[in-house]
Amino acid sequence: MNEIESNLRQRARSLLAEGKISCFIGWGPTRFPDRALPKFIFKPEEAEQLVYNEHCLNLLAKYTLAFQYSNEVIGLAARGCEARAINRLIADGSLKRDNLYLVGIHCEGMKENGSPAEKCQYCCHRDPVIYDELLGEPAGGPENLPRFAEVEELENMDADARYEYWQGQFAKCIRCYACRNICPACNCLECYTEQYRTGWQGKQANTLENSLFGFTRAYHIGDRCIECGECERACPMDISLMKLNRKLVKDVQELFGGAEAGLSAEDIHALGSYRKEDLEEFM
């Protein structure tokens, strides 16, 4: 891991020095030894501030949106999740591939509070799926992890119990929108929740409006979720957002088939595309 860190610093330094990129986004240290946060590096000499260790929990991809619409080229450390999120953002028209320089790294999964991070638990994409250069060799990772096990548990509950469960979850929501802000699939300029009087989504933090927000958010990303788990990690109220997301991912896969989201920048979204030959068996 230290080798990756020194390579990252070296690559960021020379890319900035050569003028190939105007900013490099990686992780930097914090005052806590078990915590690293995103770090924007603008000058070659600042590259020494980059770190890479098992505490690099944040997904970096969405920070590139700070440079959305500019023609600057941004460097980015890209693990499997970052690379898929970048594909997501390119497919959604938020970023241009030409404006990115991806330094690919292999990831063995991160740690949170000393134990393996929840969000990395079902990750099958430990190598980046796109990159401009790869530090080290692709090392693969586990396959066919039971990522829908919790969804199936929910599916086996009866409707009333499921209703109770989700009402309980959304009763906790404080509508801070952290889940939305951190999500690489939530990339609208102005979220519908921010709009003045949509007429149907109230801003009150009560169970009814929270549920409506929760389900709408899930539907907005359901066919595009790359399962990075950032929403659940960011949620201060411990709402099981990934269960809901994975339920939609599972439904979309069962109904429409197709590859996992984010594996390509030409992603076809099941709910966001129109093909005349689409099957309509579910209707």
Binding site for other proteins (CB under 8 A): 66, 68-70, 92-94, 187-192, 195, 198-200, 220, 269, 271-274, 276
CB of 150 to other proteins, least distance (A): 26
CB of 257 to other proteins, least distance (A): 18
Q: For residues 102 and 119, is the Cβ–Cβ distance under 8 A?
A: no
When the beta carbons of 136 and 272 are compared against other proteins, the nearer one is 272
CB of 102 to other proteins, least distance (A): 21
Among 155, 160, 182, residue whose Cα is nearest residue 244: 155
Give the DSSP H or E segment for 181: helix 178-182
CA dihedral 50, 90, 265, 220 (to 10 degrees): 110
Alpha-carbon gap, residue 87 to 50, rounded angstroms:
24
Amino acid identity, position 25: I
Q: Indicate the SS3 state at residue 281.
A: coil
When the beta carbons of 121 and 198 are compared against other proteins, the nearer one is 198
When the beta carbons of 159 and 189 are compared against other proteins, the nearer one is 189
CB of 217 to other proteins, least distance (A): 10
When the beta carbons of 163 and 192 are compared against other proteins, the nearer one is 192
When the beta carbons of 42 and 192 are compared against other proteins, the nearer one is 192
When the beta carbons of 32 and 200 are compared against other proteins, the nearer one is 200
CB of 157 to other proteins, least distance (A): 29
Burial track 175-209 (b if 16+ CB lie within 10 A, e otherwise): bebbbbebbbbbbeeeeebeeeeeeeebeeeebeb
CB of 25 to other proteins, least distance (A): 16
What are phi and psi for residue 61, nearest 5 degrees? -50, -45
Residues 6+ apart with CB under 8 A from 157: 165
